[in-house]
Structure 1
Amino acid sequence: MAEKRIEWTEQQKRAIDARGADVLVTASAGTGKTAVLSGRCVDIVSDKSICPDVWSILVLTFTEAAAEQMRCRIAGQLRDAFLENRDAHLRRQLMLLQGAEISTIHSFCKRLITEYFYKLDLDPAFSVIDADEQKLLKMEVLEKTIDRAWEQNGIRDALERLLYRRDLRTNDGFLFRIIELSDFLDGVVSRESWYEKASLLAELTNPFTADLGEKQKKNVAAKLQSILDQLNHVRRLCESEGGDVGWDEKLQDSHVAPVVKCIEMLKAGHWDKCTGAIRNFQKPTTRKAKGLPEPIASLIQSTAKNAVEAFAELSELAIVNPGYLDRLGGSVGPQTAVLVELIKKFDQLYGQAKRAVNCLDFADLEHYALRLLTDEASSEDEPAPSQTALSLRQRYKHIAVDEYQDINAVQQRILEMLSPGGNILGVGDGKQSIYAFRGAMPDIFLEQVKLASSDPGNALVGLRVDLNVNFRSTKGILDFVNDIFSRIMTESFTKIDYDESSRLKPAPADKSKAQAPGGGKNIIEFHILDKIGKSRDSQNEQAGESEDENPDIVTSRQTQAAMIARRIRRMVGVDTGKAEFQVNDEQQGTLRDVEYRDIVVLMRSLAKKANDYVEIFRLAGVPVSCQATAGYFEAT
């Protein structure tokens, strides 16, 4: 029996039906992005005129679990469509679905390399090393790199100057920066180009006369604007809370005016005057505003203080100090050149070590795939697809990318080589980008969204579709989220403007859904546990003893766990005999009282915290299940 037919929202329908242009979908959590992505795939496959079969679609995700979920979603919607009209074409697509290209980007790259190994001079039996093996191998290669460098007469003296008085611990010292820079280059399209540019900058007497100087000036301008935004924010907050007008006037004169003056100088092209004003700035005292509650007054003071300290710290930048090159220019260039050579040598030896055991890492999969898809005769600035890429364009008529905000520059270039344009669906949310430490560049997605048009008739560079109808949370939660995000998310601060298109709206009311806790009243609770006087926690810390090392004290973590346990008991009605609210039981199709199994406690990490919570919950009579071996972000 077919499941209940999906009632698409107007936004979802627009994303599913759009053809002839790249579609950029901004989708917050709970807005049905997975359903839209799978629904679009089914809609395309159903039309034989634009897609012969499901093998003509390429769907890329960032985790294996997401890929499998996507395949199941597509299968479910295909099955429903087939049961509705018994179309033989749809039945065939169901049979072919298991062989469809629905996978992570790395799995796709691996299959591509394996298929065309002969064009890359690779052994097709290569293996992919995991993160632990990679870390051990890189540490071995780093030691070999430094040993080889000491043996080279040409750079020995420069290397000695580079390492003079630096922390040389292998696992976390200065030399470990070589590995970090190499990791950074994993997300750069061309390593060789980076080496060349870095070496040229090292040779320049004044590197600030090159493109680097202009980029540094733009960086200073962006920092100044961010500082001004913070100061204006505290002024508005003080005014809205009825604070002292005199305090605002003093802040304007001592804090805001110098920043505004520097911004005006930059806009007028007076760089030297701007840097002089930054260097001569005397950091003023930031006092509390009168007439405000203590927590708000402290928040305003700390924010204004942080802003003015950031302004003062601009004077430490090399480009702001004309005497920098006179004092250090003669040594920085040669040391930079040596560092670049060390990185090149490290990459060379690391490559040799991998070839010796016939293995690749995840970055290799991306770079080899890009090499395979790019015409060797084309330039980096104007890349052209190879014959392999052109043949793959004939194979993959439509491409869909999930979690687009976590893409990097190499992966984006791969997509550009695979697509002639107008056939990519990218689904993402800049607010959910958590992989910057692995080279993710959310700016790629955000810039494309900014250029795209919401008007289907004017979508030359892409159609933008904002999914903001939330199916997961109640209105009270969404109102709270909107209120917080609208205050903290601005273009200048987070590169995301939380405007009307971003505000989350609740899905149309459904009487079968759960009632909001408290009968629809305020359902967000914010508990602050005060410590009166000098707590035993702080006394313990001053004695050099951590909470976990002293079993005789009640830690702040245990106090929090006790408060949460008490709140859970009230929710389920242990002490009152009546649950506070009901939830929708999807299996039974009816409302029932909330139970322990409906409640989850989320933490950033379970390390060291989980045992305390489990112990306190059990003492309070609250049944608990916990996977204490995995952190929240690792598990998801």
Structure 2
Amino acid sequence: MSRWTAAQLEAIGERNKNLLVAAAAGAGKTSVLVERIMQRITDPDDPLELDQLLVVTFTNAAASQMRQRIGAALTARLCAHPGAKTRRQLLLLNMASINTLHASCLDLVRSHHYRLGLDPSFRVAGEDEAALVRENILDELLEKRYDEGDPLFLALSDDYGGEKGDASLAELVLRLWDFARSHPDPAAWLDGATAAFAAPVAGLDDLVWSGSIREAVRLAVETAHQLVTQALEGAGAPGGPAVYAPVLARDLDMTGDLRRWLDGPWESLREAFGKVVWARLPACREKDEGMVARVRGLRERAKEILKEVRERFMAREPGEILTDLRKLAPFVGRLTALVREFDSAYQEVKLARGLVDFGDLEHFALRLLTGPGGDPSPLALALRERYAEGLVDEYQDINPVQETILCMVSRGDNLFLVGDVKQSIYRFRLAEPCLFLEKYRRFPSGPGGGERRIHLTENFRSRP
């Protein structure tokens, strides 16, 4: 009996296309990623070298664990099937590109510092050091603005500075600055954010963020509908809690109603969420407690997802939201101006001290990879030739500048992206383009074509 489910085997074996693997917690996504790497480098017909793969994680610990798991798999294979090919892959393991994106960007910047005009002795500031530098710069900047007595700035400080000094305002400036830097062109993003609050709108559907919000809501509803469908199938299976079936059928009709309103007016969708009521499941005397627990668990996950969406996006009247946005417009303009001033001062200090931070690494790497007109540079084209496939773990954590870097070094048909569907909902941020959700909706679930979405839904951690 195969240790892999049918969906996992598809994720492991599909080739020559961009793949989005949407995985729930406990669905074995990291194991699938490692097995895919193993099959790519041991393919009897078209084997790759380990250093032809670009493997991206988002923490050093995850990168180290990934390298260890690949090493363990190679060692086990070498014991079972000794051969020069496997020994070579073990030798390549320490040199393979299995890193955080920041580490990969640092390698690029170190190798091509002269193209950026950087001193080769530049140093990457640690998080604590960089945070202290930013804090000192921002304290000085805010002090200057207080001395100037600008009425709009003082009003901004009164409303958002907090009861004890201006700590809340400082935090707001830093969060907005950090978020702007997660985009390929931070200045353009700040311009857009300022304009978005000032633009006249008739309703929530006219807001620039409405598309991203709808993508998050769509994924939540589709996921909940799929979970209820699985629960109903489980109730009808041998040994399943058949007594749950009538209630689950009504649940399925309810989530189906939500799906029908996904492309309708926002107020209609909000009203549909207001009608969501989960009936109580009847008492069950089935002996297969594992099946009963699985069906109940699937339903509970669906309930949690829809509750999160309702609390996050549907709680307030649209008119109240629009009124608040209009009041915020002048404050947002002053706040983005502060962010620009802070960024300019911070860049000057880093340049004087020969420092770069993690955000600089991403933007420097993007400059190296971008040619005239935004096309891939010769360096980017060379990396496309070097890497036969890019594999990204925890893809739901990616930001726009990181996504752009990946696009520059990929050919358009060789990305393997693994993300946690649930986390993509819970980590959704209002003003951020939801890259995971956009691909989730756009990529077809069936084979054929240059893009595909595969679902890993079975939770192996909760098996009885």
The TM-score normalised by the length of structure 1 is 0.53
Q: 2:182 aligns with which of 187, 209, 212?
A: 187
Matched, 1:467 2:461: no
The 5-angstrom pairing of residues 597-612 of structure 1 reads: none
Say if 2:123 and 2:356, in contact at 8 Å, map to a contact too.
yes
1:446-492 CA deviation, whole Å, 9 max, x = no partner?
A: 33233223322x24322x222344444433xxxxxxxxxxxxxxxxx
C-alpha displacement of 1:131: 2.8
Say if 1:405 and 1:441, in contact at 8 Å, map to a contact too.
no
In the aligned structure 2, how far is the partner of 1:148 from the partner of 1:64? 39
The 5-angstrom pairing of residues 174-253 of structure 1 reads: 174-198=169-193, 200=195, 207-208=200-201, 213-215=206-208
Say if 1:407 and 1:442, in contact at 8 Å, map to a contact too.
no
Aligned partner of 2:322 in structure 1 is 319
Task: Describe the shift of the 1:217–1:56 C-alpha distance in structure 2 as closer, same or farther (beyond 3 A).
Answer: closer
In the aligned structure 2, how far is the partner of 1:309 from the partner of 1:470? 26
Secondary structure at the aligned position of 1:30 is classed as coil
Say if 1:60 and 1:104, in contact at 8 Å, map to a contact too.
yes
Aligned partner of 1:418 in structure 2 is 409
Q: 1:132 aligns with which of 124, 128, 131?
A: 128
Say if 1:452 and 1:459, in contact at 8 Å, map to a contact too.
no
Which residue identity lines up with residue 460 of structure 1 in the other structure? G
Q: 1:159 aligns with which of 130, 153, 164?
A: 153
C-alpha displacement of 1:431: 1.9
C-alpha displacement of 1:146: 2.5
1:77-102 CA deviation, whole Å, 9 max, x = no partner?
A: 22333444433222222212211111
Q: 2:442 aligns with which of 451, 472, 496?
A: 451
The 5-angstrom pairing of residues 208-357 of structure 1 reads: 208=201, 213-215=206-208, 313-314=316-317, 317=320, 319=322, 334-357=330-353
In the aligned structure 2, how far is the partner of 1:55 from the partner of 1:224? 39
In the aligned structure 1, how far is the partner of 2:319 from the partner of 2:459? 46
Say if 1:149 and 1:342, in contact at 8 Å, map to a contact too.
no
C-alpha displacement of 1:415: 1.0
Task: Describe the shift of the 1:350–1:88 C-alpha distance in structure 2 as closer, same or farther (beyond 3 A).
Answer: same
Task: Describe the shift of the 1:177–1:312 C-alpha distance in structure 2 as closer, same or farther (beyond 3 A).
Answer: closer
Aligned partner of 1:365 in structure 2 is 361
The 5-angstrom pairing of residues 548-559 of structure 1 reads: none
C-alpha displacement of 1:339: 2.3
- Normalized per residue, the structure richer in helix is 2
Larger CA Rg, structure 1 vs 2: 1
Say if 2:400 and 2:433, in contact at 8 Å, map to a contact too.
no
Unaligned runs of 5+ in 2: 222-243, 245-256, 272-278, 280-305
CA RMSD of aligned residues (A): 4.7
In the aligned structure 1, how far is the partner of 2:29 from the partner of 2:310? 38
Aligned partner of 2:294 in structure 1 is none
In the aligned structure 1, how far is the partner of 2:409 from the partner of 2:218? 39
Q: Relative contact order (alpha carbons < 8 A, sep ≥ 6): 1 or 2 greater? A: 2
Say if 1:398 and 1:423, in contact at 8 Å, map to a contact too.
yes
C-alpha displacement of 1:417: 0.9
Q: 2:380 aligns with which of 365, 373, 389?
A: 389
Q: How many residues are paired up?
A: 399
Aligned partner of 1:377 in structure 2 is 373
Task: Describe the shift of the 1:47–1:162 C-alpha distance in structure 2 as closer, same or farther (beyond 3 A).
Answer: same
In the aligned structure 1, how far is the partner of 2:19 from the partner of 2:313? 39
Say if 1:407 and 1:440, in contact at 8 Å, map to a contact too.
no
In the aligned structure 1, how far is the partner of 2:426 from the partner of 2:214? 27
1:549-575 CA deviation, whole Å, 9 max, x = no partner?
A: xxxxxxxxxxxxxxxxxxxxxxxxxxx
Task: Describe the shift of the 1:216–1:314 C-alpha distance in structure 2 as closer, same or farther (beyond 3 A).
Answer: farther
In the aligned structure 2, how far is the partner of 1:385 from the partner of 1:53? 24
Say if 1:120 and 1:368, in contact at 8 Å, map to a contact too.
yes
